[in-house]
C-alpha cells in the first residue's frame, strides 16, 4: 500500500506508514472498521470516512466521531425489552448461587434468540434484557425481526421454565418492543 502523504510503499496490513507515520487505512470512527484510503464510506456500517486520510498519529485534529454535529445521524431503531415475570419474589426464595445460575442460563438463552434475529444486546439489567435493532446497521424489516425475536424468546423461556421446573413453579417473560427515531 502506498502512503498518501509521502508516497512510500508499505507492507500489506500496516495501519501507519513506516516512513512518515501517516495513517495508511481509514478507520471508521463509528465502528472502528478498517477501510481502504480511496473509500469515502465505511464498508462495514456505511458511515462517512471524511478527514481520516493521512492524519498523523496523535494529531491535534479529532476524528469525525468526536464532533457531534458531523457524526450525528437520525436512525430508526427498534428496541426490545424483556424481563422475567415474578422474578423478584422468586429470587427472594432461592439461594444466591441458584439465582445466579438461573439468570446466567436465561441470559444465554436470550442472547441466542436475539442474535439469531440480528439484534444486539445493549444491556442486562437485573432480570431484564434490552436489545436493539437498527442502531449500527438498519434493515427494512428490523421491527419485524424484533417482534419475531420477542415471540421466540417467550417460547424459549417457557421451555426453560419447564426444564428447571423442579426449582421454579412458573417462569414467564413479558416483552415490549418499540420503534423510535434516535
- Rounded to 5 degrees, φ, ψ at 154 are -60, -45
Q: What is the pTM of this model?
A: 0.55
Containing domain of residue 15, as a range? 1-69
- Cell for 37? 484510503
Are both 102 and 32 inside the same structural domain?
A: no
pLDDT of residue 131 exceeding 70: yes
- pLDDT on residue 145: 92
pLDDT of residue 95 exceeding 50: yes
- Last residue in a domain, options 69, 92, 123: 69
Are both 92 and 131 inside the same structural domain?
A: yes
Are both 60 and 96 inside the same structural domain?
A: no
DSSP 113: H
pLDDT, tens digit (0-9, with 9 covering 90-100), for 132-180: 998 877 788 898 999 999 999 988 888 877 776 655 444 566 666 666 5
CATH number at residue 153: 3.30.70.1230
SS3 155: helix
- Last residue in a domain, options 69, 91, 109: 69
Total domains in the chain come to 2
Amino acid at each position: 500500500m502506498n502512503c498518501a502523504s509521502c508516497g512510500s510503499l508499505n507492507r500489506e496490513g500496516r495501519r501507519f506508514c513506516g516512513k512518515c507515520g501517516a495513517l495508511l487505512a481509514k478507520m471508521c470512527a463509528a465502528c472502528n472498521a478498517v477501510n481502504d484510503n480511496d473509500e469515502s464510506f465505511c464498508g462495514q456500517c456505511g458511515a462517512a470516512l471524511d478527514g481520516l486520510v493521512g492524519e498523523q498519529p496523535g494529531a491535534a485534529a479529532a476524528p469525525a466521531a468526536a464532533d457531534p454535529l458531523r457524526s450525528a445521524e437520525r436512525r430508526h431503531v427498534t428496541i426490545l425489552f424483556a424481563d422475567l415475570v415474578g422474578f423478584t419474589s422468586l429470587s427472594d426464595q432461592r439461594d444466591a448461587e441458584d439465582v445466579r445460575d438461573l439468570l446466567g442460563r436465561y441470559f444465554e438463552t436470550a442472547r441466542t434468540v436475539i442474535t439469531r434475529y440480528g439484534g444486539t444486546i445493549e444491556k442486562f439489567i437485573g432480570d431484564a434484557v434490552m436489545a436493539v435493532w437498527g442502531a449500527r446497521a438498519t434493515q427494512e424489516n428490523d421491527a419485524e425481526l424484533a417482534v419475531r425475536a420477542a415471540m421466540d424468546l417467550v417460547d424459549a423461556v417457557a421451555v426453560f421454565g419447564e426444564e428447571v421446573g423442579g426449582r421454579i413453579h412458573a417462569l414467564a417473560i413479558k416483552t415490549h418492543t418499540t420503534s423510535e427515531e434516535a
